[in-house]
Amino acid sequence: MKTEILGVRFDDLSPQEMVHTAASLIEAGGFHYAVTPNPEFILAAEKNEAFRNALNQADLSMPDGIGVVYASRILGRPLKERVPGIDFADSLMAWMAQTGKRLFLLGSKPGIAEMAEVALRKRHPGLLVVGTHYGYFKEDEPVIAAIREAQADVVLVCLGAPKQELWMAQNGPVTGAKFMVGLGGALDVFAGVTQRAPEAWQKAGMEWCYRLIKDPKRINRMAKLPLVLVHAAGARLKGK
Ligand code: UDP
């Protein structure tokens, strides 16, 4: 059962349960994909139906932002906890290294996916990275072919939203991959090009604030967090 927050559906699962569910989907065969909506996604999805559909048709949807959890509480259907997509991917890759699953890294500027590959192989000994592709491509076909030829089981799709969700929903099934997850700027983090907030900030639900201090240009994007709470309060008052 999914929990709907302002028109976007979420799974109310712990981080471990998310990884177990993903592992079962991968073992089950067929194509499945996961999304990691934050407050910015929710507001964009209100206005963009194709994006909303791509989010809501996902097999797994994790609240990647404390703002989503706050909004769920305001709406009176609280989600258990925040599940950062990047932590989910890290645990999934640990499982992949143990079970010999094949990983493909898609996204970011040229060279970044390869740097991420080196770092991830070090972090997860035995991890099978079978291919990489940068994220600024015009045609889908060569990317689909690269994933097919690599016989990837799992693809980390890091193209930013809504591009990555639309891409997974449209092209995922023909790549032969079993599972994809949209992860925004995660390859930049794995490659060491951008840094995440220290753990204490993450635990305090202040990762957004750390990112803002590091990159003040994000102010417009960050303003989405309080706005989503205002929308949640409005929806609650209307009894939605
Ligand atoms: N990106 C890409 N192709 C595009 C647009 C963006 O590969 O056409 C990459 C970009 O280089 C960055 C990521 O997608 O690595 C998006 O980062 P963003 O800051 O939006 O992610 P988030 O804040 O969601 O982690």
Residue 55's CB: how many other CB atoms inside 10 A? 27
Query: Which run of H or E residues covers position 171?
Result: helix 163-171
Q: Which residues contact 62 (CB under 8 A, 6 or more apart)?
A: 10, 11, 13, 18, 34, 35, 36, 37, 83, 85, 88
Residue nearest to atom 24 of ligand 1 (CA): 184
pLDDT, one tens digit per residue, over 107-136 is 999 999 999 999 999 999 999 999 999 999
Q: Which residues contact 110 (CB under 8 A, 6 or more apart)?
A: 134, 136
How close is the Cα of 159 to the center of ligand 1, in Å?
Answer: 5
Global pTM value? 0.95
Residue nearest to atom 17 of ligand 1 (CA): 185
State residue 188's pLDDT score. 97
C-beta 65 within 6 A of ligand 1: no
Pairing of strands 2-5, 154-158: unpaired
Atom of ligand 1 nearest to the CA of 221: 23
Atom of ligand 1 nearest to the CA of 38: 24
Structure tokens at 131: 């291919």
C-beta 154 within 6 A of ligand 1: no
Cα separation, 194 vs 191, in Å, equals: 8
For residue 103, what are the β-bridge partners? 129, 154
Cα separation, 39 vs 202, in Å, equals: 16
- Is residue 57 within 8 Å of residue 192, measured between CB atoms? no
Residue nearest to atom 1 of ligand 1 (CA): 159
How close is the Cα of 135 to the center of ligand 1, in Å?
Answer: 8
- Angle between helix 49-56 and helix 39-47 axes, rounded to 10 deg: 130
C-beta 36 within 6 A of ligand 1: no
How close is the Cα of 139 to the center of ligand 1, in Å?
Answer: 17
How close is the Cα of 203 to the center of ligand 1, in Å?
Answer: 24
State residue 224's pLDDT score. 83
Cα separation, 36 vs 120, in Å, equals: 20
C-beta 176 within 6 A of ligand 1: no
Regions of the chain short of the pLDDT cut 70? none
State residue 128's pLDDT score. 98
Atom of ligand 1 nearest to the CA of 36: 24
C-beta 184 within 6 A of ligand 1: yes
